[in-house]
Amino acid sequence: MAGCAESGAPELRQVGTADLGDRTELVVVLVCGMAGGPPRVAEAWIAQAYVTRTEGWKRRTLRRVHPREITLAERDAPPA
């Protein structure tokens, strides 16, 4: 998904999730400039899935996570 940074420069945004178990997941929004450069975390939160009778599955935010608390790992790197 493309968008623009506050400076007006174009950027790509991607949402990623990681399962934390018990129907909770870490949701991370990654941002990367169109000219390249390393991705950075724009925002992140821990969400939990729940079901309603009328609307089906939904997610509620349990806790916002500061972007500095997230460490990005290389996709093909071995686990530390």
The per-residue pLDDT for range 2-23, each reduced to its tens digit, is 565 656 667 888 999 999 998 8
Note the helical H segments in 1-80. Answer: none
Mean pLDDT computed over 69-73:
84
What integer pLDDT is reported at residue 48 of this predicted model?
94
Confidence at residue 72, expressed as pLDDT on a 0 to 100 scale: 80
pTM of the model: 0.73
What confidence tier does 80 reach under pLDDT thresholds 50, 70, 90? low
Each domain of the chain, given as residue ranges in start order, spans 2-69
Helix (H) or strand (E) holding 16: strand 10-21
Predicted confidence (pLDDT) at residue 43 exceeds the cutoff of 60: yes
